[in-house]
Amino acid sequence: QMWTNGINEASKMALLAWEKETGIELVQINGQRRYGGPPPGWVGGPPPAGTEVYIARLPQDVYENTLIPLFESVGKLYEFRLMMTFSGLNRGFAYARYTSPQDARNAIATFHRFQVREGCAIVVCRSTQKRELIVKGLDISVSQQELEAMLQTVTEGILSVTLHASPCQRPAKLAVLKYRSHEAAALAKKALMEGNLRLRGAGMRVDWLDPQMKQKLQLQEDEPSSSWVHGGKSMAVPRPAALPPSLQDVLEHLNNLCWRHHLRTPLFITKCVQVNANGWQRFWYQVVIPGYHMPISGFTWVSQDKQGQTEHEKAKVAAALHILQVLGESL
């Protein structure tokens, strides 16, 4: 924990005393301090959607010894995350995740505009759970593999990376990054913004992907491809379905399986190696799962069309279904 001596010492000492008294453990990683996720004694998977609330306008010298008992007074907390500065002050906002949607609604009804101290009314509302970032200002020469290699070094929990020609700034590119959760996306946004990262001399600008830009990108004719890089061993693959399932659904299922078995987010590479006279494309794919003993690769045929998923997305679905089959047999 990076606390600067001399700043808010009394509140910091009170927090340490509270931690010692209650036995509660707070873990600080990448600018946020977390309790729970899951809490001690929790059995089963995480709570459903609609259980997290966003808390804003916090006094910067208020800590978990005040906030956790307050928010736990209306329902059981699964997780509490307080955003922190390097000085040890909070950044003015936090997230509380409850074990049920009803408890989250109770928190909003009870604590929205609640005065945590005189003259300090806080804002409490439903968490929006944004999971997509947009990276602007990429040089036109930046490749998919180059961008992904850089992202691997600074972010975790990424589901997909798609590279687009910028509809607003030409010649330039932008990228859409999709993460497994709002928390992972928020951490990635912070890391990318604070890292002042550059690719081919160009400074990147990072923000949440807004609905208007998302719609504009979907209307573009040039469909992006998606890939990750690594090497490995080939196995038999399932035959592609005539109506492929949603890429997001399959990846979420796969990621959940990996998390349950203490593996990290799978990394994909897809490459078209053959096109026949009827327009069907044969893709080679390879998947690396950090923590698993070997990469997994194979081939699949996908149909070429202008609607729904791109060919690379269809290949990625086939690869993810194959990995689910392999992990289901081997773990």
Q: Which segments of 143-250 are extended strands (E)?
A: 158-165, 173-179, 198-199, 202-203, 205-208, 233-234
Which of 106, 126, 146 is the last residue before a domain boundary?
126
Asked if 121 and 140 sit in the same domain, the reply is: no
The pLDDT tens digits for 204-221 are 788 888 877 877 777 654
Which of 80, 97, 126 is the last residue before a domain boundary?
126
* Residue 9, CB-side half-sphere exposure with 13 Å CA sphere: 2
Asked if 203 and 269 sit in the same domain, the reply is: no
pLDDT band at residue 198 using 50, 70 and 90 as cut-offs: low
The pLDDT tens digits for 299-320 are 888 876 655 668 888 888 888 8
Asked if 110 and 142 sit in the same domain, the reply is: no
Asked if 253 and 300 sit in the same domain, the reply is: yes
Between CA 258 and CA 159 the distance in angstroms is 13
The pLDDT tens digits for 225-258 are 444 433 333 333 333 433 445 677 788 888 888 8
**Domain presence at residue 224:** no
**Domain presence at residue 3:** no
Asked if 25 and 118 sit in the same domain, the reply is: yes
CA–chain centroid gap for 146, Å, is 20
The CATH number of the domain where 319 resides is what?
A: 3.30.160.20
- Domain encompassing residue 210: 132-219
**Total structural domains within the chain:** 3
The CATH number of the domain where 196 resides is what?
A: 3.30.70.330
Asked if 204 and 238 sit in the same domain, the reply is: no
Helix (H, G, I), strand (E, B) or coil at 107: helix
Which of 93, 126, 159 is the last residue before a domain boundary?
126
Asked if 214 and 246 sit in the same domain, the reply is: no
Asked if 40 and 109 sit in the same domain, the reply is: yes
> Which carries the bigger pLDDT value, residue 325 or residue 229?
325
